Each structure stands twice: as structure tokens, then as C-alpha cells.
Amino acid sequence: MEKLRWWVPMALVLACSGDDGLVDGFTQAEWELVSALSPAPQAAPDPTNKFADDPAAATLGQRLFFDPGYSGPIKIGDDGTNGGLGAAGESGKVSCRSCHLGEWMIDDRSRPAGTSLAIDWFFRNSPTLVNVATYEKWFGWVGFNDNLWGKSLIPAEFVMGTTRTGIVRYLYTKHRAEYEAVFGVALPPELDDAHPETGRFPSDATPLAADGSWSTMSAADQDAVNLAYANFGKALAAYQRLLISGPAPFDRYIAGETAAISASAKRGARLFIGKAACVACHAGPTMSDEEFHVTGVEQVGAHVLGAPDYDPGRFGAIGVYTGWDFSTAGKYNDDPSVNHSVGVTEDPALTGAFRTKGLRNVAMTGPFMHTGHLSSLREVVEFYNAGGASSGFAGTKDPLMVPLNLSEGEIDDLVAFLESLTGTPVPAELLQDPAGA
């Protein structure tokens, strides 16, 4: 299949080249670079999750994604203007879906729109989950984890006001039959509130709380909770692996449909792989190198991390990553031969660095940047045209961030190309609560 991928663009070159050696106006060298951005990507294989492509696991994951019942008490309530999800103190009001809405799974609820309000205000924008499974090893703005199922566990304990033991108790109460059918392992009966030994599993127990209830649990009970919590993430990941958009007009163009995109978008594609040098980081069909770069995004907005330290980006995430039980270095990885943690260190050079975001469907997933302070694609291109901001962010800007000297017309063309990357949406049935709630 990999050989076929690279053969197809060359076949089109041979089929479409004119007597002047050009392919619809592109040189053969340009065409090879542009063709390498297609076809539309599929979910990357994930051997670390043996339930990754299990339909029953995906169905359970979809139920859990839409289920607000395991979330903790709201800290910042709805004031009539902020898009809050309930009154302060109310529990069971926040689901994963609360911040990943609509057919493109973005937060269009919170006001102001830059960052997201769930239990409390978060300090970054909620990225789309459409095509999230096409990344291979780093997930989230700063790579909090190196696999999708482990990353799916982080919001629950860090954002949704709950604990891993609380979630496992909720699994027992609300989803035990489905859970045990999918994973083939029984949840401990002591999770039942009526069991005489239910105190073995305090609902507030998490290793994230120093000197808390977690330390009162036996090692075997801690492992039972962690295993169930890992499976909770694996079900969520199995669902998210289905959230893949279909081919975009750009893909049809590369496949030979020369009228699929406009002349402006074609000029933008040439800029993307040429003068604008976007392909230096936004490479391949996912249009992401999955590396971390300081692009000089100003920390602008009401709830972002401000001066003097600003958002530490990747550097601030490494401590969370290396201490997380659910990375590929941990015991819950179903394929220990895959270990992305090798060589990861707390390198100060990563201060203020963020993972390169894929550009598929980018026109549908604003506001933009981790701060969400840019509202249009034109503003994004203008930001890169200027070489990023000169101050107001942590770290040292990547050497790639230099002024591009694009004209107004070239900016329009680059925007047109980015708009041609919008694929067909994921199936509507994947965007509905299967419980009918």
C-alpha cells in the first residue's frame, strides 16, 4: 500500500504532463511535493490498544463520550453570558462532548470563544477531535501523552473535576455490563456502594492528590482501578478512531479532477510548498510533522496564561507525560515494543513550543491557535506572514519563523488552498448520544 501511495502521484505526473513538462502548471518537482499531501489520511494503527478497532469498544466509548454523569462539581457557573454548563456546585453536567461540539467537534459554546469553560475555565482552546486518530504519537497541543487512549484519560482528572477511582465506580454503577462484555474482565464487586468492603475504593482516590485516599488503598486495588481506567480510555479512543473526515476537494484534485479546486487554491498550493514554506512543518497527508515548535503566538485572551511566565508549552507538559501511568512506557500498553518515551527529556529549549497541528478541515475548526484569539484563516496566514509575534510568549522562536513577504493576493491564494482541505464530515450517527439522552 505504501508503494502504491507514492506510485499514484507519479502516474498522474506521467498522465497529466504537457509537452512543456508541467502538470497543470506545476513543475514535476512541485507536483511531487504537492501530491505528497494527499490522499486523505486514515486512523493510524495503534497496537498499544488491542481494542482500538473493536466495534463494541467504540460503541461503549461513544456512550462515555456523551455521558456527563462522571464529572465533578462546577466551579464557574453559567452567568447568562459565558456559556456555562450549569450552576456552581452542580455535578454531572460536563461531558467530553461539552467542549467538542457540532460536526467538526469544536467548542462554539464558551464565551469568550478563545478558551473553553467546563468545570472551570481552561487556559487553552479545545482542538477538534475530527481526525485526531491520524496522529501517530503525540496528542493534544503539547503532547501530554503519546497514545490516544492515554491522552483521553487526562481531561477526566485534570479538567472534569473527578478522579480515576470515581470514574471506575461510575463504570461499575452505570456501564458494568457493557464494560465487562467488551474487556472480558470483571470489575471488583467492592465498587458496589452496598458491598461491606466498598471503602476499599474511596471515590476521591487518585495518585494526583498528595497524601490522599489513594495511599490507603492496597497495591492490588490501585492496579484494579488503573486497569479499568486504562480501559475507559481505550473505549474512548476506539470511538475517536471513527471520527475521520472523508476526501477533500484537494484530494480529488490530486487524484486527477483538475477542476476540483480553484485557480487561486492551486496558486496557494504552490505557495504552501514553496515561498510560504508551510510544508517544512505541515508535511504529509496529515499536514503535521508531529514535532514541537515555538511559533511566537502571543498569549492573548481573558483566560490564557499571561506574563511574566506565559504558557510553557511542551516544556511544561513533559513532567505530566513522564509521570503519567498510561503512556507507552506504562504497564497498560498492549504492545510494549512500542515505547515513544525513549529520549524524552525536560529540555528548556521546548519552552513555549506546541505540536504542529494538522491542517485537514482547518477552515471549519476556528477559532485558531492554542489561545483561540485568531478568528479567521486570513488572520492566521497574516500571523505567519509576519513571522509570528515579537513578544508576549514563552521561549525562543523557531528559526523557521521568519517574515514571508507574501502579497495580499498571495495571502488570499493561501487561504483558498487551506479552504480546499475541508473533507466530508464524519457520519452523523457518530455525533449523537447513543443512549438518546
Phi-psi region of 161 (alpha: psi -120 to 50; beta: other; left: phi over 0): left
Alpha carbon 191 to its chain centroid, in Å, reads 32
What is the torsional sign of CA 265, 271, 276, 282?
positive
Decide if 126 is inside a domain: yes
Query: What pLDDT score was predicted for residue 2?
Result: 37
Do residues 212 and 206 touch, judged by C-beta distance below 8 A?
A: yes
**Residue 88 is assigned to a structural domain of this protein:** yes
Write down the pLDDT at residue 4: 36
Number of C-beta neighbours around residue 55 at 10 A: 11
Q: DSSP readout, 192-254?
A: STTSTTGGGS-TT--TTSTTSGGGGS-HHHHHHHHHHHHHHHHHHHHHHTT------HHHHHH
pLDDT attached to residue 225: 98
| pLDDT at residue 21 in the model | 78
Query: How many domains is the chain built from?
Result: 2
CATH code: domain of residue 77: 1.10.760.10
Residue closest to 144 by CA, chosen among 337, 376, 318? 318
Res 3: pLDDT: 35
Domain assignment present for 81:
yes
pLDDT recorded at residue 271:
98
Q: Same structural domain for residues 210 and 271?
A: no
Same domain, 288 and 318: yes
Q: Do 63 and 211 belong together in one domain? A: yes
**Claim to verify: residue 276 and residue 423 sit in the same structural domain:** yes
Say whether both 301 and 401 belong to one domain: yes
Sign of CA dihedral 304, 305, 311, 312: negative
Domain match, 167 and 221 both: yes
Confidence at residue 436, expressed as pLDDT on a 0 to 100 scale: 76
Q: Is residue 1 part of a domain?
A: no
Q: Would you report the helix, strand and coil content of the chain in percent, each value rounded to 5?
A: 35, 5, 60
- Does residue 75 sit in the same domain as residue 110? yes
User: Using an 8 Å Cβ cutoff, are 122 and 303 in contact?
Assistant: yes
Residue 344 forms part of a structural domain: yes
> Does residue 106 sit in helix, strand or coil?
strand
Same domain as 338, residue 304 = yes
- In angstroms, rounded to a whole number, what is the distance separating the alpha carbons of residues 119 and 356? 27
Q: What's residue 210's pLDDT?
A: 81
For 352-363, letters b (16+ CB in 10 Å) and e give bbbbbbbbbbbb
Let me know if residue 193 belongs to a domain: yes
Same domain, 269 and 210: no
Q: What is the DSSP code string of 7-42?
A: HHHHHHHHHHB-TTS-BTTB-HHHHHHHHTT-S---
Q: Is residue 9 part of a domain?
A: no
- In terms of domains, do 224 and 354 share one? no
Residue type, 268: G
Q: What pLDDT was estimated at residue 14?
A: 39
99 with 199, same domain: the answer is yes
In tens digits, the chain (437 residues) has pLDDT values of 333 333 344 434 434 555 567 999 999 999 999 999 999 999 999 999 999 999 999 999 999 999 999 999 999 999 999 999 999 999 999 999 999 999 999 999 999 999 999 999 999 999 999 999 999 999 999 999 999 999 999 999 999 999 999 999 999 999 999 999 999 999 999 999 999 999 999 999 999 998 789 999 999 999 999 999 999 999 999 999 999 999 999 999 999 999 999 999 999 999 999 999 999 999 999 999 999 999 999 999 999 999 999 999 999 999 999 999 999 999 999 999 999 999 999 999 999 999 999 999 999 999 999 999 999 999 999 999 999 999 999 999 999 999 999 999 999 999 999 999 999 999 999 999 998 74
Both 285 and 235 in one domain: the answer is no
Residue 329 falls inside a structural domain: yes
251-288 burial string, b = 16+ CB within 10 Å, else e? Answer: bbbbeeeeebbbebbbbbbbbbbeebebbebbbebbbb
Range of the domain at 176: 55-243
The residue among 243, 277, 303 that closes a domain is 243
Helix (H) or strand (E) holding 311: none
- pTM value? 0.95
